[in-house]
């Protein structure tokens, strides 16, 4: 069982529409947090991701908000887990990223 986390982009000031949610990653029981690299369009590592997230609201897949502090604390705890070997994960600064769609 897992929970996905998202950012909803700001609404357009002209038309009031916002694009689809941007998938940040997934927290699954017994695994490290799996970040979505999103083609490196928004960030290329954790440092850039933290900067990009400033002023944005993180929500889980049920649209329940989570504070950035709680989000990063969860990730820090999950970093202590040793995952089995994976062939499609990209490890950047010790964090697990994927650059393909997953939910």
pLDDT in tens, 73-95: 999 999 988 877 767 788 888 88
Long-range contacts of 15-24 (CB under 8 A, 24+ apart): 21/59, 23/101, 23/103, 24/49, 24/58
Quick one: CA dihedral 2, 50, 86, 23, positive or negative? positive
What confidence score (pLDDT) does residue 13 get? 67
What confidence score (pLDDT) does residue 90 get? 84
Please state the rounded mean pLDDT for residues 1-7.
92
Phi-psi region of 16 (alpha: psi -120 to 50; beta: other; left: phi over 0): left
What confidence score (pLDDT) does residue 5 get? 97
Q: Which of 67, 51, 56, 58 is nearest to 24 (CA)?
A: 58
Task: Determine the 3-state secondary structure of 44 from DSSP.
Answer: coil
| pTM score | 0.82
What confidence score (pLDDT) does residue 65 get? 94
The string of pLDDT tens digits covering residues 5-57 is: 999 876 666 776 666 789 999 999 988 999 999 999 999 999 999 999 999 99
Cross-strand pairs, 4: 26
User: Token match 């990653």: residue?
Assistant: 25
Query: Is residue 103's pLDDT more than 70?
Result: no
């Amino acid at each position: 069982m897992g929970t996905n986390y998202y950012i909803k982009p700001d609404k357009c000031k002209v038309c009031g529409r916002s694009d689809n949610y941007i998938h940040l990653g997934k927290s699954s029981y017994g695994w490290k947090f799996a970040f979505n690299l999103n083609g490196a369009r928004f960030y290329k590592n954790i440092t850039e991701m933290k900067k990009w997230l400033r002023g944005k609201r993180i929500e889980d897949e049920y649209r329940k908000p989570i504070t950035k502090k709680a989000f990063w604390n969860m990730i820090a705890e999950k970093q202590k887990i040793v995952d089995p070997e994976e062939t499609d994960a990209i490890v950047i600064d010790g964090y697990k990223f994927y650059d393909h769609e997953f939910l």
